[in-house]
Structure 1
Amino acid sequence: IATLSCACKWFDDLSKRVLWKEFCRTRAPKMMLDLQSSGSHSVDGNWRALGKLLIFCSGCKKGGLFNNIQIPGHFVYRTRFSRTSGKSFLMPQCRTDILYVSDPCEHLDQGEEGDIGFFRGVFKSFSMSKVRKMLIKRGAELHPTEVCPYCKAKLWSMLQAKMIPQSASCRLGAYEDCIDYYVCLNGHMLGICTLLPLSDSE
């Protein structure tokens, strides 16, 4: 889809309106039904951005959002997104919001950084969410230079806004003080954590 869209404007228009939507519905049918159940025929940030979020781990670059390490982005063959897991990433007063979050994509043995996990997610109806209202109420600032790798919208740091609950590190199997994630204006989430080492029995 992406290759043909670059070569043909007609196909690009078709892909934006139809093909990416069908791709998302095929890849995660139950999740897509839920994201659209509020009556909207679209999603925040467009279908192409959501399609990319479903299959692409964004990694990180030196001087970017996360730490000072370079881990290239890559396509992911299969990822599980969970609405139940999403609750663990929300402050208690925001847990009526709906957030789907992926299992961490593991990048092991990253030198001094240890075992790194990247995770991503998407809010349902982010523009009406309690998380967005709380970010605005707390005066959270948008990142001055970096943008969402999926839709190019500006990003809020949940760490800077002090909105990362302890339950997030428990859900990820990560060190409590080594987790950070951002949410963009369209409700896409991307994050990083340092994973706890597994025992031999695990």
Structure 2
Amino acid sequence: MSETVFEILNDDIIFTIFAKLDDDPRHCARVACVSTRFFSLIRDFCWKTKSFPSLFSVLLSDDSPSGWFTLHKLSVCCPGLRHSGVLPTTITTTAAAAESQGERCSKNRKICFGYWKSHLATGNWNLSREQGSKLLARQFRDDCLYICDWPGCVHFEEKRKYNLFRGVFKNFKQTRVWRTINDGVGTERERSKIDLGCAFCHCTQIWDLHSAFCLRRGFGFHDDGEPVVRAYVCENGHVSGAWTDVPMYS
């Protein structure tokens, strides 16, 4: 097999090309996913020359390409209505079957195909700790949660408008949120654990931050009992959720 152009070029020349990328972490994330060689160059050199937020420095310090894959997905991927907790698993399973048959599925609501699963996000891509702090209850404010700036990816569903967000905890296993959901025992811990895969990594279970009392209490509920804000986190600290307009009470 003949060598490609990049296989012929030495590392210094490739690094010079990479250095011309805009200061957008999505560009470096995409390049790092191309090959092991590109990943090593981006990890060892390029991110140090860019003005990335401290969060990206944590992700890029990973010794495996998985950190780059996660960064790429967090930057460009909306978790969808299912992973944001808007649609129960039973509804989305039925929706998938109906979609494969070209039919419309409805169970107390209309489902917009293409929105219930992960897809390319719209809206802002950058992650903000300020927004994450507004999401957590007071006792968890020291935990570093970065989520995309509001409004995130907006979805209009039959009942109301959902603003989907995604994000990640910095050093999740050292946070108070992790200790809260991990130290729970019996029904308390099982109530907040859900057998649903993470939208951004290979974790097969997530925890409901609302059920674990990790979210700020002032968000409230709609008249039908649906929470105004919901959020879920996997073992690796990746967060997906949705918020709606706060109901107006007379």
Structure with max Cα Rg: 2
Match of 1:53 in 2: 74
| Partner Cα separation in structure 1 for residue 46 and residue 76 of structure 2 | 11
Aligned-pair Cα RMSD in Å: 3.9
Cα gap change, 1:88 to 1:28, in 2 (>3 Å): farther
Give the deviation of 1:52 after TM superposition: 0.9
| Partner Cα separation in structure 1 for residue 151 and residue 63 of structure 2 | 24
Gaps of 5+ in 2: 1-28, 92-110
User: After TM superposition, which residue ranges in structure 1, 4 or more long, deviate above 3 angstroms?
Assistant: 1-5, 11-28, 31-36, 75-78
Note the alpha carbon deviations across 1:101-127, whole angstroms, 9 max, x for none.
112324353112x11110111111001
Secondary structure at the aligned position of 2:180 is classed as helix
8 A Cα contact 1:123 1:187, kept in partner: yes
1:120 aligns with 2:170: no
Note the alpha carbon deviations across 1:51-84, whole angstroms, 9 max, x for none.
21111112124x9843254415224464232111
Moved more, 13-22 or 121-130: 13-22
Cα gap change, 1:18 to 1:133, in 2 (>3 Å): farther
Moved more, 149-158 or 63-72: 63-72
Match of 1:41 in 2: 61
| Partner Cα separation in structure 1 for residue 226 and residue 123 of structure 2 | 28
Give the deviation of 1:19 after TM superposition: 4.9
Question: Which has the larger helix fraction?
Answer: 2
| Partner Cα separation in structure 2 for residue 183 and residue 46 of structure 1 | 17
Give the deviation of 1:89 after TM superposition: 1.9
Note the alpha carbon deviations across 1:114-154, whole angstroms, 9 max, x for none.
1111011111100111110011223323322x111111213
Moved more, 26-35 or 175-184: 26-35
The sequence identity of aligned pairs, in percent, is 23
Aligned amino acid, residue 55 of structure 2: M
Match of 2:158 in 1: 111
8 A Cα contact 2:84 2:230, kept in partner: no
| Partner Cα separation in structure 2 for residue 20 and residue 28 of structure 1 | 14
| Partner Cα separation in structure 1 for residue 50 and residue 161 of structure 2 | 28
Match of 1:157 in 2: 208
1:194 aligns with 2:244: yes
Note the alpha carbon deviations across 1:176-201, whole angstroms, 9 max, x for none.
8222110111111000122359xxxx
Match of 1:100 in 2: 146
8 A Cα contact 1:24 1:32, kept in partner: no
Aligned amino acid, residue 86 of structure 2: F
Question: Which has the larger strand fraction?
Answer: 1
Secondary structure at the aligned position of 1:29 is classed as coil
8 A Cα contact 1:24 1:51, kept in partner: no
| Partner Cα separation in structure 2 for residue 25 and residue 148 of structure 1 | 29
8 A Cα contact 1:55 1:77, kept in partner: no
Task: Count residues with an aligned counterpart.
Answer: 182
* TM-score normalised by L of structure 2: 0.58
| Partner Cα separation in structure 2 for residue 111 and residue 118 of structure 1 | 16
* TM-score normalised by L of structure 1: 0.70
| Partner Cα separation in structure 1 for residue 243 and residue 227 of structure 2 | 9
